């Protein structure tokens, strides 16, 4: 019985250890110490055509507030287009050393948009923003940091019976077709991912001292 009890304690302790939040390995980022970040327009795997540029309009602020110099995303987008790279997919194929030589970036942020926009159901609608981001050292291609950016805003219409729910859902869909909630949601989701206490981006050299 004593042996069984001991094994049970060991298994329980192992389970708790497995459930514990694993801290992010920042060793590569700490060694690289990037000062500037170049954000490449995202590759868009969603059905929303405007998703990459809505996302771009929301990512610079949280990165800058984290203490990094962020190259102006609009200027970079136009520069790459004028140099024969009209789409984000083509921009993502540029060798890192070219970004380093021609722009002077320490690190490059690559983003893939997975889902974007509003999803309507019978009695509710959801606004979804989902993307994967990778920060890569422009000098040697080392992965410095990666994260999943995820945001969902739900609107349920089930508070007053079926008829009221249907009317509410129709009204919400009409309102949703006239307004784009993804920009605000993208800004919130990006900020949360960058500032997450367990897996967020480490403060850069220009971060405010508290």
Please give the Cα distance from 106 to 139 (Å, whole number).
Answer: 7
Residue 41: both structure tokens together: 């327009």
Residues 25-65: pLDDT tens digits? 999 999 999 999 999 999 999 999 999 999 999 999 999 99
The domains of the chain, with CATH numbers, are 24-195 (3.40.50.10610)
Residue 17: both structure tokens together: 């250890």
Please give the Cα distance from 134 to 111 (Å, whole number).
Answer: 6
Residues 99-109: pLDDT tens digits? 999 999 999 99
The pLDDT value recorded for residue 10 is 40
Answer for the pair 51, 42: CB distance below 8 angstroms, yes or no.
Answer: yes
């Amino acid at each position: 019985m004593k042996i069984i009890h001991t094994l049970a304690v060991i298994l329980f302790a192992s389970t708790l250890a497995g459930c514990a939040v694993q801290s992010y390995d920042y060793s590569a980022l700490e060694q690289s110490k990037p000062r500037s970040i170049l954000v490449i327009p995202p590759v868009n795997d969603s059905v929303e055509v405007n998703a990459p540029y809505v996302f771009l309009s929301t990512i610079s602020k949280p990165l800058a507030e984290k203490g990094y110099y962020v190259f102006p995303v609009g200027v970079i987008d136009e520069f790459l287009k004028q140099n024969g790279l009209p789409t984000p997919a083509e921009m993502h194929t540029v060798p890192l050393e070219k970004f380093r030589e021609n722009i002077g970036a320490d690190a490059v942020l690559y983003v893939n948009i997975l889902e974007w926009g509003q999803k309507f159901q019978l009695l509710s609608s959801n606004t979804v923003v989902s993307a994967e981001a990778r920060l890569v050292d422009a000098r040697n291609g080392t992965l410095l940091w990666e994260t999943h950016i995820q945001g969902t805003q739900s609107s349920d219409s089930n508070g007053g019976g079926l008829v009221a729910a249907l009317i509410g859902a129709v009204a919400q869909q009409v309102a949703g077709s006239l307004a784009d909630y993804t920009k605000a949601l993208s800004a919130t989701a990006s900020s949360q991912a960058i500032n997450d206490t367990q897996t967020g981006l480490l403060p850069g050299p220009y971060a405010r001292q508290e």
